[in-house]
Amino acid sequence: MSTLSDLVLAQGRSSQADADWLHMLVGDLQLLADLAFADIVLWVPSAAGGYVAVAHARPSSAATLFYRDFVGQEIRPEWLELVTRAAETQAITESNAPDWYEEMPTRVRAIPVIRRLSASSPEVAPDPVAVMTRHTNLSSTRTSSRQELTFHDCATELFQMIASGDFPDLGAPTGPRRGAPRASDGLIRLDTDGVTTFASPNALSAFNRMGFDDELEGESLAHVTSALLTGRTDVDESLPLVVTGRAPWRTEIESRGVAVSLRAIPLRHRGTRTGAIVLCRDVTELRHQEQELITKDATIREIHHRVKNNLQTVASLLRIQARRTHSEEAREALTQAMRRVGAIAVVHDTLSEGLSQNVDFDEVFDRALLLVAEVAAAHNTTAHPKRTGTFGVLPSEYATPLALALTELVTNAVEHGLAGREGEVEIFADRSDTTLTVQVRDTGSGLPEGMVGEGLGTQIVRTLIQGELGGTIDWHTVVGRGTEVTIEVPLRWIKA
């Protein structure tokens, strides 16, 4: 499905600024649906003179009227007149008679969406950037509770702010969605002095768990939170503005091991603040989970660091043993083993530096290429390694065998292909959505008689590429240009 910006801009009637404003509004579309106990649909003008739906939110506080999304569809003829009138008059418009949808009576209300031009100015765009429709089910006849009435009042005030360009608030920072409080988590209504006029049961429960054992209604929310945080020095400086409802910000308070996230939405009428909504959510368990993840990530990084250290110790032992041996063949075998262990250590060293188990393989391979200088020096060879293209980010399951295999191929190119002469070793990487293709080319003498060797290095490369990575490998001699090895590795196990 197309993104919101794609849908808005595709109609040819909206600017990027309009799309950005609607992005902010859609971020609170679910809140509006929950407060209004109604389906909310956002319509933008189309090139054909009608309207196209670009967003749809269903209430979690009531049954939805529409089981299928309207997103991307043209407006129904029975709603077009109401929406057009709201756009032309720039006023909230309501249907005169119930609108029947699948044998259910509904009330439709159209709210023009007015865009404010800047946070510091009351100026607004000359025309509505969209129209929002609120579809309320009238089939329920039960008496509304005090909480439902308060939610409806809050929704009405927010819709009026949308129609005047006061909501969403351009001064509100974009906070993380994870742990964001919702209407059903807890809602507190404040007057202009910051005194609580209503607190939902969930909101009261959250404060009770933090140690407040009285009723919130009639109390200053700022005084309540101050009493809970007495003696604390690590208090968010934005807390006073949030608990008084003066700024559209978010903060978090913690007391007695309970963490509660707070979000304030100032309510305004014609630019004058009339109170505020404060949404609250107990995020204690969420914060515990995040702390556990941080601890686990740190543990995994430490494990990779220790593995790297151990591998470097093994490589050092192999180097010492190679220097002390009198057999040239044994010395060469130990040196090769040391180099292979070093290539694996580079991957673990990179993994120890980040939070994820994915690595930037370009960085890993560039570090592994430094081993080529040692190989060249040992064989009186002058090698000029060069990498073109990009490997991208790979999970550790790919990175370790690929680093070892490519190190082996580059080493072979220097040790056998160039063998005592000066030349180039070029590594070309090309990555698509499904395949990683790597070519290792040298300007050496080429394969003797075109035959691929059967040594340990060749067997290691085949085992890693074909066995562990499920890829293919091909050796061939390029006339006058040395040897070229082509590897293709499928990326089917990498999540997009």
- Cα 303 from Cα 141, distance rounded (Å): 62
Task: State how far the Cα of 287 lies from the Cα of 278, in Å rounded to an integer.
Answer: 20
CA pair distance 339, 328, nearest whole angstrom: 17
Same fold, 187-282 and 358-496: no
DSSP letters for 174-193: ---STT---TTT-EEEE-TT
pLDDT of residue 496: 43
Architecture of domain 358-496: 2-Layer Sandwich (3.30)
Going from N- to C-terminal start, the domains of the chain cover: 4-164, 187-282, 285-356, 358-496
Concatenated DSSP letters of 323-381? HH---HHHHHHHHHHHHHHHHHHHHHHHHTTSSSSEEEHHHHHHHHTTHHHHHHHHTT-
**CB neighbours of 154 closer than 8 A, spacing ≥ 6?**
35, 187, 189, 267, 277
Taking a C-beta distance cutoff of 8 angstroms, is the pair 261, 281 a contact? yes
DSSP-based three-state secondary structure for 23: helix
Query: Length of the chain, please?
Result: 496
CATH of 187-282 among 3.30.1300.10, 3.20.20.70, 3.30.450.20, 3.40.50.300: 3.30.450.20
The Cα–Cα gap between 44 and 221 comes to 39
Q: What are phi and psi of 350, to 5 degrees?
A: -65, -40
488 with 472: CB under 8 angstroms? yes
d(CA 92, CA 134): 11
Return the sign of the alpha-carbon dihedral for residues 268, 271, 274, 278.
positive
Please answer whether residues 308 and 341 qualify as being in contact, where contact means their C-beta atoms are separated by less than 8 angstroms. no
Place of tokens 């075109």: 450
CATH homologous superfamily for 4-164? GAF domain (3.30.450.280)
Q: Cβ–Cβ contacts within 10 Å for residue 117, how many? A: 14
Full pLDDT tens readout for the chain, 496 residues: 468 888 888 888 888 999 999 999 999 999 999 999 999 999 999 988 899 999 999 998 888 888 888 898 999 998 999 999 999 999 999 987 777 777 788 889 999 999 998 887 888 999 999 999 999 888 765 677 899 999 999 999 999 999 999 999 887 776 655 668 999 999 999 999 999 999 999 999 999 999 999 999 999 999 999 999 877 666 678 889 999 999 998 998 998 889 999 999 999 988 889 999 999 999 999 888 878 877 777 777 777 778 778 878 887 888 888 888 888 888 878 877 877 777 777 777 766 766 567 788 888 788 777 766 666 556 666 777 888 888 888 887 888 888 888 888 887 777 777 776 777 888 899 998 889 999 888 887 776 655 666 677 788 888 888 888 888 988 887 766 778 889 899 887 655 4
Tell me, letter by letter, the H, E, C secondary structure of 255-317.
ECCEEEEEEEEEEEECCEEEEEEEEEEECHHHHHHHHHHHHHHHHHHHHHHHHHHHHHHHHHH
Q: What is the pLDDT of residue 32?
A: 96
Give 110's DSSP letter.
E
- The CB density around residue 74, as the number of other CB atoms within 10 Å, is 14
CA distances from 475 to 187, 217, 387 (A): 68, 79, 19
pTM for the full predicted model: 0.68
Provide Rg for the chain, Cα atoms.
Answer: 33
Q: What is the DSSP letter of 412?
A: H
pLDDT confidence of residue 354 = 61
Name every residue whose Cβ is closer than 8 Å to that of residue 480 and which is 6 or more positions away in sequence: none
Burial class (CB in 10 A: 0-12, 13-18, 19+), 445: middle
Q: Are 163 and 239 in contact (CB under 8 A)?
A: no
| Rounded distance between C-alpha atoms, residue 184 and residue 60, angstroms | 8
- Which pLDDT score, from 0 to 100, does residue 374 have? 63
Detail the DSSP E strand segments found in 72-203. 93-94, 99-101, 104-113, 116-118, 121-124, 130-137, 187-190, 196-199
Report the C-alpha gap between 342 and 374 in whole angstroms. 12
Question: How far is residue 190's CA from residue 245's CA, in Å, rounded to a whole number?
Answer: 7
